[in-house]
Structure 1
């Protein structure tokens, strides 16, 4: 299995198996120092993928930690943001059900982010794949029902760049469920 594919797979798996618990009882990503996080990731790679070579491990760990530590993504990786959070709601005649990569629920705002690991991330909002935007529009519609009265913000985080696209309501409305 190529190193890049293992890195993409490990990013999701490692995040959802972190030991820290949120007040809700769900697993959350801890905010340990960088060295501690790297050691944890190394143990994960050895245990789950048999990757013990330090050079190969660093090729996987460094980009993952760069995404987690990026200041622009601080809200996405807050300790109280849920990882791999299931959502479900009936939106009009449609049932929306899925697992979102990150979900941050605040008193007046909900932030939902899905990770995308494509090798060629889009350069602009206009280049986002319609299927990705449609998926996020469905999640936003469901979350507006689940959390009425709160602003719901959606984002797509392309981990290979890394780049976070916050999706404007106008873009989501153009692809909403009918």
Structure 2
């Protein structure tokens, strides 16, 4: 009986940060960076990752996206695949970040009742965060790449080194 109670406590102390980089985007059109669209490959890879995430038991509490077109489009494709309720989704300007500093500040201010959050955003921010907070070095989170980091904490504010639980990259899913 005592062990079961301890197990329940440790589960509540886990926070999961799910990062998904936007799909492959186009540089062909003469538009602002924020307005760049996904290429067909980016659309396909985002859908493929979403289909794979649908098979995982992630129990996502909330999802957030950068306002950039390519990140938002990736989010919509992926979230549709996992049948995620859009009333638990929000666009956040701080996620339009390439260094990772604004993303980390955002995560540290998340409400503590959210245990698993999914962010859609950009590199180099996501590779930097993955390598700074995860235990496994990843050279580069590719476009439409997904990383799950887990932390034995109760408060997002105390975010520190955690464990890289899984990576899902489109190249590894292609048949």
- Structure 2-normalised TM-score? 0.31
| Structure number having the greater strand percentage | 1
Of the two structures, which has the highest relative contact order with CA contacts closer than 8 Å and spacing of 6 or more? Answer: 2
Larger CA Rg, structure 1 vs 2 = 1
- Structure 1-normalised TM-score? 0.31
